Structure 1
Amino acid sequence: MRLGFYLSGSHPIERVLPLIARAARRQDQRMLVVADDDALLARIDRTLWEMFPEDFLAHGRAGQPHEERQPILLSADCRAANGAELLALADGRWREEAEGFARVLVFFDDVGKAEARRIWRQFDGREDVEREFFELTDGKWLKRA
């Protein structure tokens, strides 16, 4: 599993996650975006429509019609009805089901640093997990580790 940590700093997650979603779509990857907070999912939903008008970031909500056809699926559960192998944990909270994905992205802001460190350490010594750390700088994700 490839495990990426994405520090948004002072930027709200709903404003930075679409950068990754757009890159995933350009690579023809399906993505599952998970958060327990329905308000956060609603903000991500809105931002995916509005942030890049030139790029159509088609997406939908789990439990709605045609969820299996959505390139980007927003959900409260780690169940990829759309067949995604790319999982974005928008709320920065680890779920054991995430280990079933080829690539997992953990998004967190300055407030979530301690939890991100705990998740990072959880995978110490795991040779089957490749960890990466990215930080948003000047509107771009820069790899730091």
Structure 2
Amino acid sequence: MQVDFYHLAAPLDRVLPRIAERVVDGGGRLLVVAGDDALLARLDERLWSYAPESFLPHGRAGADGEADQPVLLSARPEPANGARAIALADGVWREEALGFDRAFHFFDESNVAAARAAWKGLASRDGVERRYWKQDEAGRWTQAA
């Protein structure tokens, strides 16, 4: 399983839609997890409007049709939509992410220490490939580790 750590320099609502789009375009499904309902509401709105020429079909956990959603927003790491990829959107590592094929762990300066602890904790886990991504001055993502 692969865990991608994304050290955010730009707001999450600019980054997450592109990651979600790539997962869905590749035929996958994504579970987006955050413990903050206000953050989930902002992401819900952003996924509808991030690109003027398109939208990304998605829904909220607990709503009708949650199992059919390519992208599901939830407070819990339970893939009601059958997702094999998980995005931890609130900077909090969850061990349940290891049950997925791929995890995207987004964090900013406010939770760097916790992300470092998660990175170190995963170093000795069998079958876990870690990648660390950081934005450069131009806003492009480069793999730092």
* TM-score, length of structure 1 as denominator length: 0.93
Q: What is aligned with 1:2?
A: 2
Matches within 5 A, 1:49-60: 49-60=48-59
Aligned length: 144
Task: Summarize deviations over 1:36-75 as a string: whole Å, max 9, x none.
Answer: 0001111111111111132320000000000000000000
Query: CA RMSD for the aligned pairs?
Result: 1.2
Distance 1:104 1:127 in 2: 15
Q: What is aligned with 2:60?
A: 61
Matches within 5 A, 1:15-34: 15-34=14-33
Identity of aligned residues (%): 50
Distance 1:81 1:136 in 2: 32
Secondary structure of 1:43's aligned partner:
helix
Q: Any runs of at least 4 consecutive aligned residues in structure 1 with deviations exceeding 3 A, and if so which?
A: none
Q: Which amino acid aligns with 2:121?
A: Q
Closer, same or farther in 2 for the Cα pair 1:25/1:140, shift >3 Å?
Answer: farther
Task: Summarize deviations over 1:76-119 as a string: whole Å, max 9, x none.
Answer: 00110100000000011112221111101100112221111010
Q: Which amino acid aligns with 1:64?
A: A
Q: Does 1:88 align with 2:87?
A: yes
Gap regions ≥5 residues in structure 1? none
Distance 1:144 1:93 in 2: 20
Closer, same or farther in 2 for the Cα pair 1:26/1:140, shift >3 Å?
Answer: farther
Secondary structure of 1:15's aligned partner:
helix
Secondary structure of 1:106's aligned partner:
strand
Gap regions ≥5 residues in structure 2? none
1:124, CA displacement in angstroms? Answer: 1.8
